[in-house]
Structure 1
Amino acid sequence: MKKIFTSVFLLLFAFPIFSQTQSEVVEAIQKEAYENSQLEILAHELLDDIGPRLVGTPQMQQAHDWAVNKYKGWGISAENQQWGEWKGWERGITHIDMVYPRVQTLNGMQLAWSPGTSSKGVTAELIVLPEIKDSISFRKWLPTVKGKFVMIAMKQPTGRPDDNWKEWATPESFEKMKTEREEMTKEWNQNIKRSGYDRRSIIPALESAGAVGIIDSYWSRGFGVNKIFGARTKKIPSVDIQLEDYSMLYRMVEHGDKPKIHVVAESKDLGVVPTFNTIAQIKGTEKPDEYVILSAHFDSWDGGTGATDNGTGTLVMMEAMRILKKVYPNPKRTILVGHWGSEEQGLNGSSSFVADHPEIVNNVQAVFNQDNGTGRAVSINGAGFLQSYEYISRWLKAVPDTISKHIETTFPGRPSSGGSDNASFVAAGAPAFNLSSLSWDYWNYTWHTNLDTYDKIVFDDVQSNVILAAIMAYMASEDGSKTSREQIILPINDRTGEQQTWPTPRVPERKGGL
């Protein structure tokens, strides 16, 4: 008997049994988040050192490898899973200078995937689109673009955002400006339409006619802020110039000054490169084949460093996984995190994962996605799952009131058909929920712009989102019940009179830009 007692004692000593209550785990999550936060370190390494993560660039690959190494350093298994190929491209030095009638360095940058110039650059006169009578007159005008830079954006009547006008202008002046802008925009669009092209298709026509470069300015209705997207030229450079300088150049052309600019854009075409999702997981102990997924897209546009779209979402999910591994290392269900590639071009990484891993998607307990800026989460929609109130509300009860009091829930809500990666899972019938955030002027100032940088991050709000994501993942993992996938019956479409249907999985683009 003594020997048996001794053997049992030694076994218990060698393999201690940890039994944590829900309140203890929730408290431990908060304690680790507040007292040992890694958010600023992660943000510096990802945003300052690696920078923007445009699909197909070396920086995107560097970010994938960095994330895998971080997870492995925390004792979490991780890998990069290839889902496709993309046009390989690397941004180089961009320098844009006015050289006539005077010298001034201009604020602007190359558009993504734009063809480059030599290190000597290109110097040429600027020209704007004329008033177009019809497609015949436009074809007659086209040869005049040969050897010139063509400006393809309208001249904005103001560089001040509307809220600045509303605060300082008289009501009459404010309304006058808005009316003028609406009329100018309408006429600009109609003018391009009369050419026989649209805003996109006119660019290849200008290139074919001999233009040496395309000059755009996609103002985002804020001080000094432009949206930076992709080029549509094959051999000549495309650059975006900030509104302040673009408007000056446009006025010079209008007044017959014949301004000239010098553009150096040393980008590199890297051929075809593989594209990946970074996947990490903490394996479940009781139900390893059921999954709680933390979700955030990893790629960005590259006007800034992709800080709020979606650097902050990425940081939230990485930090949540780090904390869960430390305080909840043996989850009931497998907790998986997906850092998706090429969300910006149409949810390609996440929709590829959904298509390639039905064994995971069919056994999803819940997906928690974050993707809209730096603000604290203030809204959770039931995504059209009829019983979502029952389990989301139950999990939210464990979230501290300091965080949950700011969150408005909508049940059963409606299924997302796009916008972010939760839609890829919803379309496949998996309960996926977006942790929607406060704006912080996201749409005008940081969404896809040249100002989406580290300094715009509000770390207090990001920290709150980490705690929310970690607790929701913990509660979903521990839940004794499997979540219901019962869907609502969608209403009749008022416009068409037809019954609305659940979104269907999209076919991902697996060979992008090629």
Structure 2
Amino acid sequence: MLKPVLRFTGGIAAAVLMASVHAVPLDKEDLSVAEVLRERALESSDAYSLVESLTVEVGPRRAGTEGDKRAVAWAQQKMKKLGFDRVYTEQIDVKRWARGHAHAEVTAPYPQPLVVSSLGYGAATPKGGLTAEIVEFADVEALINAPEKKIKGKIAFINKRMERARTGEGYGPAVQGRSRGMRAAAEKGAAALLLRSVGTDSDRFAHTGMMSIDGVENPVPALALSAPDANLLEAMLERGKPVEVKLDVENQRLADGPSFNVVGEVVGREKPEEVVLIGAHLDSWDEGTGALDDGAGVAIVMETARLISELPQRPRRTLRVVLFGAEEIGLVGARQYVDAHKDDLDKIIMVSESDFGAGKVWRFDTRIPESKFAIADQMMQLLAPLGIERGNNESSGGPDSSVFVANGVPAMGLYQDGTDYFDYHHTPNDTLDKVDPENLKQNVAAWVVMSFLAAEMEGDFGRVPAEH
């Protein structure tokens, strides 16, 4: 078997081919090539120009909008320019929604304006707005367990703070209020829902995001409240007087419509039917430009594929980049992808996704059989110099990737430092200036090592237990 040893000169890859005999699990020459790719990424990765292009030339791209259409066209054009062997789209069906105005103010006992944002697919108020007393709950469970008479006709206020963590682990407990809160409020007869923003900042803007809306017979207006304004309501309530708030919200549900997953492939030279799938999500919320969520991820995986495509020969199996549509409204693109390709999932030997901003990668997790840990150990030899440590074997690979893992597909995860990610998540402040080009280079360096070695190794990872 001929193996490439690469030397990069003047930005162009030159190869010296030499014979070698494969060792298991990873060949020394494969590791050498991966090391060269890693250094090349650190020197000249151009991921930043991709995320800059996406945020400037497309901007916000909520699923089913004109911005979404522009993003799909942008992704196809960029993939073709970057040298992917195949570029195509797969249509998905999405629920559509139009955001209108959202105003809130305290009317009694201490009149003041509040900063809010409608949560995704939330209902409008009656024309002219509504005014009601607020009733506070520590979290969504307290709302669910409260008697209806305490809530009926009032505005439910969920005041759950999110804890800051490098791993972002505070998000799960806090986001329950957003995902389940409106349903609980509607079932109890509330007039509306106010939610302390699911974020870690103290800035006076709100964090939007999706709610659970399926099957809710009488949806009510639901708004995220900036953290300082949640503090303000909390302080008003502590004074022992009823607090009344006026809401004036205009949103509209639209007819369902199409969006797309955008797919680019570097086709394998020996086993093109076997696939290493790396992804990100193309859509974003509409109040920022989606630089961190998930423009950075889009750029990282596209640049990873570009570097691998410039090798003198294609990797053993196909490297497939999927930019999933409609992740923000419920992993729609990933779910429909898995449904459409259920008979071919056993050909995907590994899945992973970049969807946690643009911080440096600090941990490498897996979801592979224990018998395959030696492969991850060899990968770690090249990841450790990047400041990355070995994590656990419980990875979902990322939000969209989790749908694949639930069906038995092995996963790997390169986890970024998310200490400040939720300061910007789903806000108007998710913009390009939050992206550090040097951090992106380190990300691409890690991704190119993992992706190339998975695509080039002789064996595979087998299957992981599917979830039922």
Task: Give the TM bin, normalised by the shorter chain.
Answer: 0.7 to 0.9
Work out which of the residue numbers 417, 423, 429 in structure 1 matches 2:408.
429
The answer to whether the Cα contact below 8 Å between 1:29 and 1:324 also exists between their aligned partners in 2 is: no
Work out which of the residue numbers 459, 462, 465 in structure 2 matches 1:482.
459
Matches within 5 A, 1:69-84: 69-76=77-84, 77-83=86-92
Alignment of 1:290 with 2:257, yes or no, is no
Deviations 1:373-417 (A, max 9, x none): 3222222233141232222333454x37642xx22225xx54546
| Displacement of 1:285 | 2.3
Aligned position for 1:371: 355
Change (3 A) 1:201 1:274: same
Change (3 A) 1:29 1:161: closer
Aligned position for 2:21: none
Aligned position for 1:504: 467
Deviations 1:408-429 (A, max 9, x none): 225xx54546862333333333
Deviations 1:238-278 (A, max 9, x none): 32221322443565576668766463x55443310124322
User: CA separation in 2, counterparts of 1:285 and 1:105?
Assistant: 62
User: CA separation in 2, counterparts of 1:141 and 1:257?
Assistant: 14
| Displacement of 1:320 | 1.2
Deviations 1:468-507 (A, max 9, x none): 212332233333x1214166xxxxxxxxxxxxxx3326xx
User: CA separation in 1, counterparts of 2:269 and 2:358?
Assistant: 34
| Displacement of 1:280 | 0.8
Is the partner of 1:152 in helix, strand or coil?
strand
Aligned position for 2:135: 129
Deviations 1:145-176 (A, max 9, x none): 5xxxx25234x8xx99889xxxxxxxxxxxxx
Alignment of 1:106 with 2:111, yes or no, is no
Is the partner of 2:152 in helix, strand or coil?
helix
Aligned position for 2:389: 408
User: CA separation in 1, counterparts of 2:412 and 2:241?
Assistant: 56
Alignment of 1:67 with 2:72, yes or no, is no
Alignment of 1:229 with 2:209, yes or no, is yes
Deviations 1:318-371 (A, max 9, x none): 111222233456333211111223444554433432342256432234333333
User: CA separation in 1, counterparts of 2:448 and 2:342?
Assistant: 25
| Displacement of 1:66 | 1.8
User: CA separation in 2, counterparts of 1:236 and 1:97?
Assistant: 18
| Displacement of 1:87 | 1.4
Change (3 A) 1:99 1:20: farther
Deviations 1:38-84 (A, max 9, x none): 3333223333553444444443343223211211222322222124x
The answer to whether the Cα contact below 8 Å between 1:112 and 1:228 also exists between their aligned partners in 2 is: yes
Change (3 A) 1:19 1:70: same
Work out which of the residue numbers 178, 199, 202 in structure 2 matches 1:220.
199
Alignment of 1:153 with 2:158, yes or no, is yes
Aligned position for 2:448: 470
User: CA separation in 2, counterparts of 1:284 and 1:350?
Assistant: 23
Deviations 1:166-218 (A, max 9, x none): xxxxxxxxxxxxxxxxxxx9xxx9xx9xxxxx944443257x67x4x543333
The answer to whether the Cα contact below 8 Å between 2:366 and 2:395 also exists between their aligned partners in 1 is: no
Change (3 A) 1:20 1:111: farther
Is the partner of 1:86 in helix, strand or coil?
strand
The answer to whether the Cα contact below 8 Å between 2:276 and 2:318 also exists between their aligned partners in 1 is: yes
Alignment of 1:240 with 2:219, yes or no, is no
User: CA separation in 2, counterparts of 1:246 and 1:430?
Assistant: 42
The answer to whether the Cα contact below 8 Å between 2:262 and 2:324 also exists between their aligned partners in 1 is: yes
| Displacement of 1:108 | 1.9
User: CA separation in 1, counterparts of 2:199 and 2:380?
Assistant: 36
The answer to whether the Cα contact below 8 Å between 2:136 and 2:158 also exists between their aligned partners in 1 is: no
Q: Which deviates more, 53-62 or 283-292? A: 53-62
Alignment of 1:86 with 2:91, yes or no, is no
Q: Which deviates more, 24-33 or 361-370? A: 24-33
Change (3 A) 1:485 1:238: same
Identity %: 25
Matches within 5 A, 1:384-399: 384-397=368-381, 399=382
Matches within 5 A, 1:114-125: 114-116=122-124, 122-125=128-131
Report how many residues are paired.
420
Q: Give the TM-score taking structure 2 as reference length.
A: 0.73
User: CA separation in 2, counterparts of 1:141 and 1:332?
Assistant: 61
Deviations 1:275-325 (A, max 9, x none): 432211011222222222222233445564443333322221011122223
Change (3 A) 1:316 1:217: same
Change (3 A) 1:136 1:416: closer
User: CA separation in 1, counterparts of 2:198 and 2:365?
Assistant: 31
The answer to whether the Cα contact below 8 Å between 2:279 and 2:353 also exists between their aligned partners in 1 is: yes
Alignment of 1:47 with 2:55, yes or no, is yes
User: CA separation in 2, counterparts of 1:328 and 1:273?
Assistant: 42
| Residue segments in structure 1 that go unaligned for 5+ positions in a row | 1-16, 164-184, 193-197, 488-501, 506-514
Deviations 1:433-469 (A, max 9, x none): 1112223333x42455565443333332221111221
RMSD: 4.2
Change (3 A) 1:262 1:137: closer
Amino acid in the other structure paired with 2:348: V
